[in-house]
Structure 1
Amino acid sequence: MSRHYDLRSSEVHDLVIAEAARVIEDGKLIVLPTDTVYGVAADAFSPEAVERLLEAKGRDRTMPPPVLIARPETLMGIAEGVDAATMALTAEFWPGALTIICRAQPMLDWDLGDTHGTVAVRMPDHEPALDVLRRTGPLAVSSANAHGQPAALSVEDAEQMLGENIEVYLDSGAAAGQGASTIIDMTAQPPRVVRSGPISYAALAEHVPNLLDVGQEPEDPEVPAEGAAADEAPASGEADRDG
């Protein structure tokens, strides 16, 4: 039977975070709040747990989950070829509602699905979520909804869709309501925004030269955009749903 904990109770906060971390270590799933929408989380380094997450949402390996981290420095450990523009984005917009698609470190022992060698990474601007991430390390996190349904803005929304697939539900009240994060693909040449969100194209373009917006094509027709976002964003999760 699923368990519910209220993160707004300071008396039990540390105990609840520890319990959530234990559940993750056991390869099971939790629902946690973020600064965008509620997410369902699994150990990013447990293929069985990631598979459990995909099954709970009714998704297959072609829609791998993003990864949430607690510190910007962690990006260097899970991604390769992180350039100056990417670092500028993390300095300006993390923690916050920006997911960055990077090349995954090829030596990492994980299986997020059919990522085509990429990983979508975000650092949330939500202290309880960061408390969990500091205890667990990187988590595979997808929006806490069944495939094709609206993203969960409350624990009640999440439970209605995911039910007993979740071991622990962490409640911090209604989500901020800013919507799912902006996604930028830094593996594409030139880089491009693959999902619009709270962080605008104009704000991103100040840090990324030649950035393409959603649906925008390069000015030179002889130089098509290449990379993960040229036809799809394989590691971004469900582009119109995930946080």
Structure 2
Amino acid sequence: MHPPTPEMARAAAILESGGLVAFPTETVYGLGADAENPAAVAKIYAAKGRPQDHPVIVHVAPDADLSYWACDIPAEAHQLAAAFWPGPLTMILKRAPNIPAAVSGGQDTVGLRCPSHPVAIALLQAFKQGKGGVAAPSANKFGNVSPTTARHVHDEFDAGGALDLVLDGGQSQVGIESTIVDLSRLGTHGPVLLRPGHISAQAIAAVIDLLPAAPDAEAPRASGTLESHYAPHTPVAMQETAVLRATLAQLAASGRKVALIHYSELALPQASLRLPLEPEGFAHALYAALRTMDGAGADVILVEAPPKDGAWLGVNDRLRRAAHGSAGIVHGLLNKAPF
């Protein structure tokens, strides 16, 4: 392991002193604090405006000792870590007694993941000589669109001065948050997919010979699983292509300003972004597109609904949550006179 760079040494020192450091991961940018310092973790919640019972994910270095962070670790957890770490997979395990409940929203579980971004790995290796954990939800105000560049983080937090440092690692490669699989109740419920992401349920099943089930009522609370999440300030509506064509024409005729995220050939409003019609490229660009369209001053952000097959599960999950609470927005715009 190479000695840390001056910037990484500074970032590690800030974390060790109880400060907040935003850093890039391959999924989105995280807002990090020392996972074993409840006062530091409380700063994350305060900066984000995050509910206290909503757990955060603990990021660990590639050679981390899982038994320090979790207990009753099933063999399947080690198999998944060997297959997908470093990478965009979070595992929910029983929390070890020495780990503060602050990172778990008061639950007896803990979410663990090892990110693959080189800047994140360098930070985790510098922090407590690679033995620490960095509690880090996405580096944005609670419920907002997650950041995939350092600029997005500055846009969220510079006015408040809540962050001590933002590490810039370019645009996040994956672009949506990690897959979360619950392994804390394996004996009674099997694995449970709490949040879809880049790593699919089928990919998990290929490693542990068990297909993760859908979340049940007793499943642990996990990051990014509230019905309304990842939402810009402008209302979002997602429509199938044929319906969207008609909606675009109707809204244009009624004088409404539309921002469009699409992949098909469509009659384009003034503000539009076309994303690739393949899940990895769409996911990579999605949050940046939502942020750009949010700044267009539109009455609504229309999104062309992606395909429904399994490879698009993570993208569709994020879009469904972004559009939650905006039901009826198109109908309302068409039936009210413009201001």
TM over 0.5: yes
Equivalent of 1:175 in 167, 172, 179: 172
Unmatched 5+ stretches in structure 2: 231-339
Matched, 1:208 2:208: yes
Residue of structure 1 equivalent to 2:87: 96
Contact 1:145 / 1:152 at 8 angstroms: preserved in 2? Answer: yes
CA distance in 1, matches of 2:86, 2:208: 18
Q: Any idea what SS the aligned residue of 2:55 has?
A: coil
Residue of structure 2 equivalent to 1:166: 163
CA distance in 1, matches of 2:194, 2:150: 28
CA distance in 2, matches of 1:67, 1:118: 11
Residue of structure 2 equivalent to 1:74: 65
CA distance in 1, matches of 2:182, 2:44: 23
In 2 relative to 1, CA 162–196 (structure 1 residues): closer, same or farther, beyond 3 Å? same
**1:179 to partner: Cα distance:** 1.4
Residue of structure 2 equivalent to 1:143: 138
**Highest RCO, 1 vs 2 (Cα 8 Å, sep ≥ 6):** 1
Unmatched 5+ stretches in structure 1: 1-12, 216-228
Matched residue pairs, number?
215
Matched, 1:119 2:110: yes
Contact 2:109 / 2:220 at 8 angstroms: preserved in 1? Answer: no
Residue of structure 1 equivalent to 2:124: 133
**1:94 to partner: Cα distance:** 0.5
In 2 relative to 1, CA 155–114 (structure 1 residues): closer, same or farther, beyond 3 Å? same
Contact 2:55 / 2:104 at 8 angstroms: preserved in 1? Answer: yes
Q: Any idea what SS the aligned residue of 1:108 has?
A: coil
CA distance in 2, matches of 1:186, 1:24: 29
Give the TM-score normalised by the residue count of structure 2.
0.60
Residue of structure 2 equivalent to 1:14: 5
**1:175 to partner: Cα distance:** 1.3
Residue of structure 1 equivalent to 2:224: 238
Percent identical: 31
Q: Which is richer in helix? A: 2
**1:214 to partner: Cα distance:** 3.1
**1:210 to partner: Cα distance:** 3.9
Contact 2:180 / 2:195 at 8 angstroms: preserved in 1? Answer: yes
**1:83 to partner: Cα distance:** 1.2
CA deviations on 1:71-93 (whole Å, 9 max, x unpaired) are 25421211011111111100101
CA distance in 2, matches of 1:145, 1:109: 23
1:121 counterpart letter in structure 2 = L
CA deviations on 1:114-141 (whole Å, 9 max, x unpaired) are 2410000000011111111112121101
Contact 1:28 / 1:167 at 8 angstroms: preserved in 2? Answer: yes
CA distance in 2, matches of 1:162, 1:131: 23
Task: Tell me the C-alpha RMSD between the 2 structures.
Answer: 1.8
